[in-house]
């Protein structure tokens, strides 16, 4: 038997869209791990039971937030230019959205979405692969490899996945000492770089590796990527 609210939410003009938008606001502020219907009701100034007039449960709200974030990404830049430029534009747009909502965006990365916004993101990514001469099956393999890279690197940047390095200069020396203490020559040689995380550089470096690999796989030229210091590829 479903639980119905008191009706106060309806009197205040509450809708599913307003509930989802308020949930995003709460998660942006507090994080998705601490999100609860009680906190959301407080944000909306309604009784918690009133929320059930618009959403069936907490999981549906989190799904709605993920969909709202996806629908807010502007992929228009990924519809023009070379296939390599379109892939870069898609990745940059996705990352920009993640950086705007660092506490909420992990929901996009971990919750399955079957919405129109999700399909548009897939269509946009596929448009960068369509001219490579790959079979539809291999296009999907390439797409899933691309998605795995994007999700993995963003989860690390958003502190939702483990990373060996740090962005805190005060901790770098400690990390270097911990790595070199192993005595392994390979780890010791790379310790100054393993100890540091530069998300901007690493995102674009990994993206170019993926694009170059796709070019090799499809037997087409790789454009070399933007020059160092150009937008989308910071100088080192």
Cβ-in-10-Å burial (0-12, 13-18, 19+) of 85 comes to: middle
Cα–Cα nearest to 28, from 107, 84, 129: 107
Task: Dump pLDDT digits (tens) for 174-200.
Answer: 889 999 999 999 999 999 998 888 889
The helix-helix angle for 83-100 and 116-127 (nearest 10°) equals 140
Across 95-104, 145-154, 190-199, least confident range:
190-199
Q: pLDDT band for 220, please (50, 70, 90 cuts).
A: very high
Query: pLDDT at position 47, please?
Result: 92
Mean of pLDDT over the chain:
88
C-alpha span between 189 and 194 (Å, rounded): 10
Q: How many helices (H) and strands (E) does the chain have?
A: 11, 0
Task: Dump pLDDT digits (tens) for 62-83.
Answer: 999 999 999 999 999 999 999 9
> Regarding predicted confidence, which is higher, 5 or 210?
210
C-alpha span between 108 and 118 (Å, rounded): 9
C-alpha span between 95 and 105 (Å, rounded): 10
């Amino acid at each position: 038997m479903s639980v119905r609210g008191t009706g106060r939410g309806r009197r205040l003009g509450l809708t599913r869209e307003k509930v989802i938008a308020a949930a995003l606001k709460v998660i942006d502020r507090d994080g998705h791990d601490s999100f609860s219907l009680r906190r959301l009701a407080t944000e909306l100034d309604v009784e918690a039971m009133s929320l059930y007039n618009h959403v069936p449960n907490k999981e549906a709200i989190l799904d709605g937030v993920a969909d709202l974030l996806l629908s807010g990404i502007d992929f228009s830049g990924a519809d023009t230019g070379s296939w390599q430029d379109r892939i870069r534009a898609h990745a940059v747009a996705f990352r920009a959205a993640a950086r705007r909502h660092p506490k909420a965006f992990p929901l996009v990365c971990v919750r399955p979405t079957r919405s129109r916004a999700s399909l548009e993101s897939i269509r946009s990514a596929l448009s960068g692969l369509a001219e490579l001469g790959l079979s539809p099956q291999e296009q999907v393999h390439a797409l899933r490899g691309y998605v795995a890279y994007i999700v993995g690197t963003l989860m690390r940047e958003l502190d939702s996945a483990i990373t060996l390095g740090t962005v805190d200069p005060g901790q770098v020396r400690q990390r270097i000492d911990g790595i070199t203490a192993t005595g392994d020559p390979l780890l010791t040689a790379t310790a100054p770089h393993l100890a540091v995380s530069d998300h901007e550089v690493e995102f674009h470096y990994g993206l170019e590796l993926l694009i170059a690999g796709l070019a090799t796989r499809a037997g087409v030229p790789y454009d070399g990527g933007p020059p160092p210091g150009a937008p989308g590829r910071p100088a080192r």
